Structure 1
Amino acid sequence: MAELGKNLSRRGAATTQKPETTRAGDVVAAAPHKGRPRTSKRRGSLGNLVVMTLAGGLVATMALPAYAFTPGTNETQFGTTASTELSQAAAQNVTVDAQAASVTVARDGFTATTEEELAAASAAAAAAVEAAAAEARRQSAAAAMTTYAASYSGPSVSDFLANPAYPNYDLGSVFSVASQYQGVPYVYGGATPAGFDCSGFVMYVYAQFGISLPHSSTGQGAAGTRISEADARPGDLVIMDGHDGFYAGNGNILHAPYEGASVRIQPIWTSDYYIVRLGI
């Protein structure tokens, strides 16, 4: 028995042999004992535990989608709403008013102004503006003529034609008489020293020599003979489009220009004119 006890003590000492340590405190594995190793058992238990853990997680993961698509009784998180239950039961009802059957549908109509209509309207508006301006000018001219007639009491064109102030006609005398009226204001329709327009001025001067002319620049141009500018002399007529006056020499004209201006001499400002001489 004593021998048996010693043997057991030796085996226990070998089994419980502590690991050696170095001076730095590192653990050095203990020498393996001669008995059956226990490490394989521990490793087997640990592997089984890992496999069981992974299997449980996999089963839980696969069960989540099924649980999500099949809600339980938790109405707060997964419960169906009243509108969802009605949709699933196909319980919708639509009420249509009885008058809907008698409603007629028609295409909306519209109108548009054509380019021709717009152009016509614009032309009509421009014509209206021009007519209003012409009427204003007529009224202004009428008022001026009233003042003009009241302010002049001397001989008229008809008086001179009946009794010419200068029976002997020559261009130098004509220009001399015309030059006396510089400063007379322009008056539309005027034909006396109270106020002249362009053709009224020419008509009044030539009437004093017994020569009758129409109150029109075109008519006065047609009453004479065209000559070249090189042959022109003061007293000849300068005829333009809608305007005329006396040739004053050196490319100048003596005329009644426009409203707001007076009879004056100035250079001819255009090349669109011709010279006419009367009495030949």
Structure 2
Amino acid sequence: MALAIPAIFCTVALPAYAAHNAASDASSAAGADATAQLEELKNADAQTAAVSADAPAAAAGRDAFSATSEAELKRAQLRAAMLAYRGPSVRALLANPPYPNFSLDQVVAVAKQYIGVPYVYGGASPAGFDCSGFTQYVYAQFGVGLPHSSSRQGSGGTAIAASAALPGDLVILDGGSHVGIYLGGNMMIDAPYPGRSVGINAIYSSNHYFVRYGI
């Protein structure tokens, strides 16, 4: 009988031990599964966040590319139109000016005919003007030759006091970086910059002076 007790004990103890291990293994497996699922969720969230963060940047990049492409296309079209222009050139106008009798009032009237002509860098025709090309083209119609340079236009002619300036005189801004035709009352007509057209604008800088040609 004494020998049967350990056998019974062992018979009873073995299933208890096995059950404990099985429960432990099941618990470990469940924990591992839960951990794996948690990690998957974290990774999925991270990927979603990354995609969400990248989406606006990608959209902005596409928009910027589109805007740049459109601007470049517009510039190319304006440049092509300028090169295709077959009307009177500055040289032809100087050789045969339509207004041989110079008048500052008439300079203003002629300049206003070109309101709406687009700005084109290097342009000196009704197909497109830059600032000095505009003044050069207008003055050429009176037989007055101006260089195609705002700084050189500012260094030629006769410098006059602001109190003596008249509509039709040239106004030189910011040390010769820009030129327009004075209209009086702190206004000018000019070809401002790319993306804009010839128009009537305020003299935007206090650093300006006036130059007279033709009289």
Root-mean-square deviation (CA), in Å?
Answer: 2.1
Give the conservation status (yes or no) of the 8 Å contact 1:189–1:197. Answer: yes
1:262 to 172, 197, 201: 197
Note if contact 1:168-1:209 (Cα within 8 Å) is conserved in structure 2.
yes
**1:2-41 to 2 correspondences below 5 Å:** none
| 1:277 equivalent in alignment to 2:195 | no
Partners of 2:136 and 2:147 within 8 A in 1:
yes
* 1:159-206 per-position Cα deviation (integer Å, ceiling 9, x unaligned): 101111111001111111011111111111110001100000000000
Cα distance 1:238–1:138, how it changes in 2: closer, same or farther (>3 A)? farther
Instruction: Could you list the structure 1 runs, at least 4 aligned residues long, displaced by more than 2 angstroms after superposition.
Output: 137-147
After TM superposition, the score normalised by the length of structure 1 is: 0.48
- Aligned partners of 1:279, 1:204: CA distance in 2, in Å? 14
* TM-score of the pair, normalised by structure 2: 0.62
> How far, CA to CA, are the matches of 1:158 and 1:176 in structure 2?
21
Match of 1:184 in 2: 117
Q: How does 1:215-254 map to 2 (within 5 A)?
A: 215-241=148-174, 242-254=177-189
* Cα distance in 2 for residues equivalent to 1:159 and 1:145: 21
Aligned mates of 1:269, 1:240 — CA distance in 2: 8
Aligned position for 1:166: 99
State the percentage of identical aligned residues.
Answer: 57
Contact residue 157 and residue 191 of structure 1 kept, 8 A = yes
User: Retained in 1: the 8 A contact 2:125–2:137?
Assistant: yes
Structure that is richer in helix per residue = 2
Please tell me whether the aligned partners of residues 171 and 235 of structure 1 are also in contact (alpha carbons under 8 angstroms): yes
- Give the match's secondary structure for 1:245: strand
Any residues of structure 2 matched to 1:40-51 within 5 Å, and which? none
- Per-residue CA distance 1:65-115 (angstroms, 9 max, x = gap): xxxxxxxxxxxxxxxxxxxxxxxxxxxxxxxxxxxxxxxxxxxxxxxxxxx
Q: 1:264 and 1:143 mapped to 2: Cα distance?
A: 21
Query: Shift in Å at residue 253 of structure 1?
Result: 1.1
Residues 1:145 and 2:83 are matched in the alignment: no
Q: Which one-letter code corresponds to 2:191 in the other structure?
A: A
